Structure 1
């Protein structure tokens, strides 16, 4: 299964980020073709040493890297990607990878 991991860094206004993310960005992202599952963190991310600069983590799941590339390259995927500029003022890191069970 292929995944996109998005780590959203702490925004200037966490309440505004959370509201926009829930009401606008999640519905946009859920329209990406080939998306099988989508989950987000429910609490601030921490490291073994304590707090981190990450406000929220999101993971999007696809059947394969080809499905992921097609979905992210679609009009819906591009719309979700372009939407980051509307709310992720702290920045976001995206990681794309394939997985296997071990």
Structure 2
């Protein structure tokens, strides 16, 4: 299994970001062919400070070929365009192979 990890910095307008992300973007992203599951985590700091990132989204796929093929689909492209429209400067991506769990 492989996953795409999206890390989000803190947005200036937290309410607008959160409303769009959970109200629109996750719905679009969920239509991506080959996507097995999505897990979204909100960061916190045990010392009460502000963590470096606001959210992390992990999107799981059966294998690398499925992940790559998903990028070419209209559904994935629509989710990507939506993401750029409200979080383009806030997000960075990493990719990983799940080796335990």
For the residue of structure 1 that corresponds to 2:87, the secondary structure is coil
Q: 1:10 to 1:17 in 2, by over 3 A?
A: same
The reply to whether residue 15 of structure 1 matches residue 15 of structure 2 is yes
Hey, what does 1:4 align to over in structure 2? 4
Aligned to 2:25: 25
What's the TM-score once normalised by structure 1's chain length?
0.86
* Greater than 6 Å deviation, 4+ residue runs: none
Q: Aligned in 2, Cα 1:47/1:95: closer, same or farther, shift over 3 Å?
A: farther
Aligned to 1:84: 83
In the alignment, structure 2 segments of 5+ residues that lack a partner are none
Counterpart of 2:99 in structure 1 is 100
* Distance (Å, rounded) in 1 between the aligned partners of 2:12 and 2:65: 35
State the TM-score, normalizing by the size of structure 2.
0.87
Mean alpha-carbon deviation: is it higher for 88-97 or for 59-68?
A: 88-97
